[in-house]
Amino acid sequence: MTDFASWPRDQIPARLVAEMHKNDGLAPVDIQRFWADDALAHKDPFGADIPQVPLGIRMSWECIPAELGFAYDSTRYHNDPEWAHETTVAYNDKAEKIVGRRLLNETPPDPNTKHYPAAKGLHDVFEAENNWQAGSWWLKESVHNDDELAALLDRVEARLAGDFRSFLLPEGWDEAKADLLPQGIKPRLYRGQRGPVTFATSIFGAENLIFLIHDNPRLAERFSKAILDAMLAIARVIDEEAGYTPDTAPRGFSFADDNSCLLTPDMYELFGYPILKGIFERYSPAPGDRRYQHSDSDMGHIVPILGRLDMTGVNFGPNVLVEHIRPHMPNAVIHGVLAPFTFSRNDEERIVAEFLRDFDQARDKRGLVFATAGSINDGSRLTGLRLIMSAIQHFGRY
């Protein structure tokens, strides 16, 4: 039996990978025990009695091509449900053998499922097109200079002051609501948004936003306030349609703001921070309410500002480490911080080294869920996931 506890710390990555390749590329792990301990750990990542670091990686459909040996084709995956189901099942068959779990959802969408017609989104309020391109959704710029932005804000503010419900909800909504709500089927609430900087740079341009904040801060503040007011209006209307009052509406809100890295702290405090603050004051006012931000970029310079919001969950870029986050966010569960390309390039020793680094930095105060610092990309392998499980089981126990 291998005596893992005797290994010198600096030799662990190479030696664990060597053990892995002695066993047909499968890292040593007691799979049944791992998943039992993982379930306990997820109940409270800060818990004094949890056995090990919880694992936050459950893979994604983007991992299927490399694992099954065919070319990446996101368009076909999204538009050919029969093929998507077939490849998902085949992937899960392999996952069950390697990591002991069927990781991806195999249930195909039911074409007979009743649902509400899609309401407009924040980008519609700001007159931007959302286009599917290169395997993802992209917002197109709707304004290109300060004058166009000011005119757009005139229209947005008028829209918000008018019959906003009629603007937001599509034709057929009332009929769908009359059918679905009595069955207990509520519309999906608005509790997540592309973050303010990413949203603003998408519809106005990155350089334009930076120059706007620097050269025309009053218009920038007006832009920021319009985004906040529109978000609150969308959430309020959908809450009301679901039958909630301000006192009964579910709590919690999440942002994904990769482009927050583009602003200096002063710029972010002027433009982005007031939006998060306003949303959290309305939808996450209590200590335990979800206040979450994903920003997989080098945005460590704004961590102190975000820290004033008492975040409860974060997922930041691979260079924004636990030791930098924790002093500013003592109550946040840190999801990370494995570099996505370390994982997708199968850099096996580096995968282990990054886990050891993060565990060492989190050990005293806990609150780490080991995950990628961002997306899980094409090329990420099940053997790599098993390697992480092995590292957690042997070297990530509290």
Percent of the chain with pLDDT over 70: 99
Strands 333-338 and 368-372: parallel
Q: CB count, 10 Å around CB of 148?
A: 14
pLDDT band (50, 70, 90) for residue 133: confident
Model confidence at 69: pLDDT above 80: yes
CA distance 66 to 139: 29
**pLDDT on residue 109:** 78
Instruction: Report whether 238 contacts 162 (CB < 8 A).
Output: no
pLDDT digits (tens, 9 = 90+) for 321-373: 999 999 999 999 999 999 999 999 999 999 999 999 999 999 999 999 999 99
Among 341, 345, 370, smallest CA distance to 356 is for 370
- pLDDT grade, residue 132 (50/70/90)? confident
DSSP assigned state of 387: H
- pLDDT for 234 equals 98
- Asked if 20 and 390 count as a contact pair (C-beta separation under 8 A), the reply is yes
Of 333, 324, 318, the C-alpha closest to 372 is 318
Q: Looking at this protein, which amino acid is placed at residue 29? A: V
Question: Using 50, 70 and 90 to split pLDDT, how confident is the model at 74?
Answer: confident
pLDDT at 1: 62
Answer yes or no: is pLDDT of 75 > 90.
no
How many Å apart are CA 289 and CA 171, to the nearest integer? 34
Strands of the chain, DSSP E: 130-133, 136-139, 192-194, 253-256, 291-295, 313-316, 333-338, 368-372
Q: What is the pLDDT of residue 113?
A: 87
Mean pLDDT for the chain overall: 96
The alpha carbon dihedral of 366, 13, 24, 379 has a sign of positive
Residues written for the chain: 398
The pTM of the whole model exceeds 0.75: yes
Does the pLDDT of residue 131 top 90, yes or no?
Answer: no
Q: Is the confidence at residue 374, as pLDDT, over 80? A: yes
Mean pLDDT, rounded, for 191-214: 98
Distances (CA, A) of 274 to 179, 220, 225, 249, 290: 39, 12, 8, 22, 17
User: Is the per-residue pLDDT at 283 higher than 90?
Assistant: yes
Instruction: Report the C-alpha gap between 23 and 233 in whole angstroms.
Output: 57
Handedness of CA 64, 70, 75, 77 (dihedral sign): negative
Convert the pLDDT of each residue in 4-62 to its tens digit: 989 999 999 999 999 999 999 999 999 999 999 999 999 999 999 999 999 999 999 99
Q: Among 75-79, 184-188, 393-397, which stretch is predicted with the lowest mean pLDDT?
A: 75-79
